[in-house]
Amino acid sequence: NYITTDPLPKNRRHMQQTPTESTTDTPSIPDRPSGTDSALTTRLLLILALLSAVAPLSIDLYLPAFPSMAEDLSTSTSAVQLTLTAFLVGITIGQLIFGPLSDRFGRLRPLLIGAVLCVVASIVAVIAPSISILVAARLFQGIGGAAGMVIGRAVISDVARGKAAARAFSLMMIVGGIAPVIAPMIGGFLVDPLGWRGILTVVLGLAVIMVVCVLFGIRETLPAARRAELKALRAQSDSPYEALRSREFLSYTLTFGFSFAVMMAYISASPFVYQDMMGLSSIWYGIMFGCNAFALMIVSGVAARLAAVRSARGMLATGVAAMATGVAALALLVAAGVDPIWLSVPLFFAIASLGLILGNATALALGAVPAAAGSASAVLGALQFGLAAVVSPLVGLGGEDTAAPMAVVMGISAVIAVIAFLTSGRTTTRAA
């Protein structure tokens, strides 16, 4: 029921390193103070997963209500789609705001401010009389909701390292992975009885639950004494966040970001591929989409179990190789012009392999910069959703009758992820 850290032995922990023994100019990270928690309980992990899932639920839950929103607000469909774009922009900006703030002021206060902002913006969204006010409300809703995502990752990096952190992030992938899968289905059932304002009221309820969880379920994991230690450590460098420019952090971050871009390219193109090209009904599309999502969650669970006996980097290598193989097979089938139904096979393996990538890449990236975990988490999240915003429209450039744009975008993203991972290998070897 808990995940513990794996501290260094006492005889190594207190060793003093002389300048002649040092292999790098970066000062070592001091141990966490004994007053902080050294374990991630199941309860805390579930709360952090819930906080991370609020934003994805807020994105997907109201998608089935777009037509009724356009009609009720007397506006166009493209204007309604701006509410989604504004939310994605808000998530990106919010992570860049709350990540650094959590490094400076601790995790709890910025998290509470973000949660309260999300509640206020959600209230405005429910009662919005016009599309312009709704777009503005969704922007601030995304900014506030981003706090749960970015600070949740930072909290894990505060109390866990190495294999323990990799296991925690993989477990969060399971819970967080359910949100974007079930949200459109739930929204489809709710849109008729509740209307679009009722669905946004459900989102408001999630934001209120977020505030309650922060108030009663999370304790400060970066106390003032620890912040002072890390501030002094950063002061020894030329730049307070010099570590964020390190090759190790950037390599794992790019591996994570472009692997996530592979998934976003698939998600964005999946309605056209499964329904228009393969000729599946909306029900079968939901089944196929759900199978791939379920495979992703299963592999994430396997990764969490293997974290105790396998290195995070080893599992990441396996996942990157499997993803690249699946994407390469997809590209070959698209180029060969085979029956579109066969595309479902490499798509299944490419998406399932992400269960070995996303959690382990997150753990390795944040583990590379423990002195600035909040800011590192912000960079990770901003890249994630920034790439999502870029990738989504690209897969539709060729129209509804071809999977070539999807294959190209997934292929380029996979190649960049592979190159980034290989670069991290050279950095890790040199550091060792």
| pTM (two decimals) | 0.71
Instruction: Please compute the mean of the pLDDT values over residues 29-36 and round it to a whole number.
Output: 42
Residue bearing the bigger pLDDT, 346 or 48: 346
Close Cβ partners of 176 (under 8 Å, ≥ 6 residues apart): 49, 52, 53, 56
Share of residues in the chain with pLDDT > 70 (%): 81
Is residue 275's pLDDT more than 60?
yes
Predicted pLDDT at 143: 92
Task: Say yes or no to pLDDT of 171 above 50.
Answer: yes
Residues 145/51, Cβ–Cβ less than 8 Å: no
Reading the block at residue 218, the tokens are: 């999370």
Predicted pLDDT of residue 415: 96
- Which residues are CB-contacts of 159 (< 8 A; sequence separation ≥ 6)? 5, 32, 36, 37, 38, 39, 40, 221
> Among 5-14, 145-154, 345-354, 408-417, where is mean pLDDT lowest?
5-14
Q: Hey, what are 125's tokens?
A: 């969204």
For the segment 172-206, what is each residue's pLDDT rounded down to a tens digit?
Answer: 766 666 666 666 667 767 777 888 899 899 999 98
- At residue 185, the pLDDT reads 66
**Residue 238 predicted with pLDDT over 60:** no
Position 405 pLDDT exceeds 80? yes
Least confident of 135-139, 392-396, 416-420: 392-396
- pLDDT for res 31: 46
51-75 as b/e, with b when 16 or more CB fall inside 10 Å? bbbbbbbbbbbbebbbebbbeebeb
Q: Taking all residues of the chain, what is their mean pLDDT, rounded to a whole number?
A: 80
Per-residue model confidence (pLDDT) at position 306: 87
Banded pLDDT at 237 (limits 50, 70, 90) = low
**Per-residue confidence (pLDDT) for residue 13, from 0 to 100:** 42
Q: What pLDDT score was predicted for residue 176?
A: 62
Q: Is the pLDDT of residue 141 over 90?
A: yes
The pLDDT value recorded for residue 388 is 79
- Range list of β-strands (E), 30-109: 39-41
